[in-house]
Amino acid sequence: MNASPHREAVIESLDHEGRGVAHVDGKVVFIDGALPGERVTYTAFRSKPKFEVGEVVRILKASSRRVTPPCPHFGVCGGCSMQHLEAGAQVAAKQRVLEDALWHLGRIRAEVLYPPILGPAWGYRYRARLTVRLVPSKGGVLIGFHERRSSYVAPMDECPILPPQVSGMVPRLKALVAGLSAPDRVPQIEIAVGEGIIVLVLRHLLPFTTADQARLEAFAREEGVQVWGQANGPDSARRLFPAEAPGLAYSLPEFGVSMAFRPTDFTQVNMGINRLLMRRAMQLLDPRPGERIADLFCGLGNFSLPIAKLGARVVGVEGSEALVRRAGENAAANGLAAFSEFHAANLFEATEDSIEALGHLDKMLIDPPREGAVAVVKALGPKAPRRIVYVSCNPATLARDTAVLIHEKGYVLKGAGIANMFPQTSHVESIALFERP
């Protein structure tokens, strides 16, 4: 891959990955590290007939919204791509990404744009999967996210998007792994933070020795954390130290519910934004006593329990049997078993018959993974609920599914807006309300 000579460009906008977009000699150019309004020189590392991808070499005229990234690893680490853009401008850029996706992919505009859901810009990431590598040429054990455009691990001594206690622990984590009997056989550490509890799950390809276990126990005691081991898949994760300890949980105080979860379960990364997103979702869905509401891709009951708490009967559907069990346990623990039922089913293969088999539904909440919910929206028949709230983590699949709901199923997009679930990154979380006249 030969680097091209430096060329000049004027940046017009940001794309969905936070890259500057320019046009040079009739080609679209995507430039890492460039901001709208800037004049830059860049070098292309990928060139195709219709577009180029490059990175900034020099900023000739800087944007007034440019800031100095506070993280020393910015630019090498692939975890964040927008730290060089002022926080308010990041939010505006994400709102534009959502609007552009709806328009360009579906020719749709929302009747109302909701105000963005905002929270702290730093220390918000309560879940993270850090890669571990033993690289003697770089000083030993490396722990971090992958480098940009690379499978290498970005050397990291801190991470300001992690909670401060976890960020400050990174150098000691490196020393912990380096002192184990087989440091090259610990490929990842998963971090899960609940209320007052930090869990570290060490993936290990060889059993820990007696000396390893003594090290892990001392680390757990000194840092005030739980250390778990994971020998195989996520279900193999087991607490090692301390032997007896409370489980992870997070609460939704506005709805008086608490969610227990395992450190390898899927939960929202940003607990503060999750609470605000829940408030918005319940305002839009407006669950009422006597209604029957589906929560599709329900996970461990994040949206299901507030729906039930507001008096509606909730029918949760989720692909993972383990999460379905967890959702049922959480409903029972919160006294909501009588208002809820949970089923395991592959919603990527939903049909009109499988949706109708759930019974009469007044409303529906959909919270799919990045792939979206195209099978679900295509399966909605004449008896489909009149109101749907769709929580999305990918504007492109939301726009695709929105086009089906509007152009094929007769719904109207009443409103849409973003939730800044991942500040400093280009990730766009959003929520949309659909109604059928």
Is residue 124 within 8 A of residue 423, CB to CB? The reply is yes
Residue 79 to residue 122: CA distance in whole angstroms: 13
Nearest C-alpha neighbor of 170 from the set 248, 127, 223, 125: 223
Residue type (1 letter), 57: V
Nearest C-alpha neighbor of 176 from the set 128, 110, 235, 241: 241
Residue 379, CA atoms < 13 Å, CB-side half-sphere = 17
| Strands ordered across the beta sheet of 313-318 | 112-113, 412-419, 429-435, 387-392, 363-366, 292-296, 313-318, 340-344
| Strands ordered across the beta sheet of 51-61 | 7-10, 39-47, 51-61, 27-32, 20-24, 13-14
Give the count of beta carbons closer than 10 Å to the beta carbon of residue 23: 12
Residue 278 to residue 303: CA distance in whole angstroms: 7
Report whether the peptide linkage leading into residue 242 is cis, meaning its omega lies within 30 degrees of zero.
Answer: yes
**DSSP bridge partners of 352:** none
Is residue 256 within 8 A of residue 330, CB to CB? The reply is no
Catalytic, 393? Answer yes
Which residue intervals of 232-349 are DSSP H helices?
271-285, 304-309, 321-333
Residue 224, CA atoms < 13 Å, CB-side half-sphere = 5
Residue type (1 letter), 396: A
Nearest C-alpha neighbor of 271 from the set 188, 196, 201, 329: 196
Active-site annotation holder among 80, 159, 298, 393: 393
* Helix, strand, coil % in the chain, rounded to nearest 5: 30, 30, 40
Residue 233 to residue 240: CA distance in whole angstroms: 16
Residue 91 to residue 419: CA distance in whole angstroms: 9
Residue 290 to residue 366: CA distance in whole angstroms: 20
Grouping H, G, I as helix, E, B as strand and the rest as coil, residue 93 is: helix
Active site residues: 393
